[in-house]
Chain A
Amino acid sequence: TQLLEQSPQFLSIQEGENLTVYCNSSSVFSSLQWYRQEPGEGPVLLVTVVTGGEVKKLKRLTFQFGDARKDSSLHITAAQPGDTGLYLCAGATGGGNKLTFGTGTQLKVEL
């Protein structure tokens, strides 16, 4: 069973601060995704990374896939209250469409 451990589990910061969320596993993934989930809603896809070492940027969010494709990070610059939510990483293995989701990071950005 593949496990994706996210850290930290909870994060409460002030507006304008930077933060990094980590997603780690002992398994190799063919692709890795990040989702954000707000209360009462389903997860929304933010990004997909497929190549080891790949870096993708989405406005103030920077995503990196580890060289060995076992881990990933999400960096948010100058966090805003609208960034508040549950961040989930999800990895796919082999040629399948089954996603294994991470343990989640609950982020709260306060004014």
Chain B
Amino acid sequence: DTAVSQTPKYLVTQMGNDKSIKCEQNLGHDTMYWYKQDSKKFLKIMFSYNNKELIINETVPNRFSPKSPDKAHLNLHINSLELGDSAVYFCASSQDYRPPVEQYFGPGTRLTVT
């Protein structure tokens, strides 16, 4: 029944490792997003895909690589993890990219880099 799901919920890893976060939505939406929420709860867009095509690519280190195998899935792979990558990462989806976009968020993945 979960509309937007993410795995894992928690991820603890060491600096320099590579990790992935998976996201799936069962809402039939065309557009998906990745956001980063820092320790001050500030939420910032990282990427957006519409029907598997990248449409938003904010100023994010190229260690972060999103992949959309189909429009229901958007995964985030992070190479060479750094301490500053520690945050909560949220996946979201919307019907499409035409405004006003009403976004549905997943439960988040809390990434801790030690």
Contact = CB atoms under 8 A, between A and B. Distances in A.
- Specify whether A and B are partners: yes
Interface stretch (A11-19, A55-63, A70-78, A97-105): A97-105
A-B pairs, 4 with minimum CB distance: A42-B105, A31-B100, A97-B97, A101-B43
Contact of B99 (A40, A43, A88, A96): A96
A43 B42 contact: no
Contacts of A92: 99-101
Contacts, number: 64
Contact of A41 (B56, B94, B108): B108
Interface of A: 30-31, 33, 35, 37, 40-45, 48, 50, 86, 88, 92, 95-99, 101, 103-104, 106
A62 to B, nearest CB: 19
Interface of B: 4, 31, 40-45, 48, 55-56, 90, 92, 94, 97-108
Contacts of B92: 42
Given A98-B45, A103-B42, A42 B99 contact: no
A33 B106 contact: no
A33 B100 contact: yes
Nearest to B94: A97
Given A41-B108, A42-B107, A43-B43, A98 B100 contact: no
Contacts of A33: 100, 102
B98 A40 contact: no
B99 A45 contact: no
Contacts of A97: 31, 48, 55-56, 94, 97-99, 101
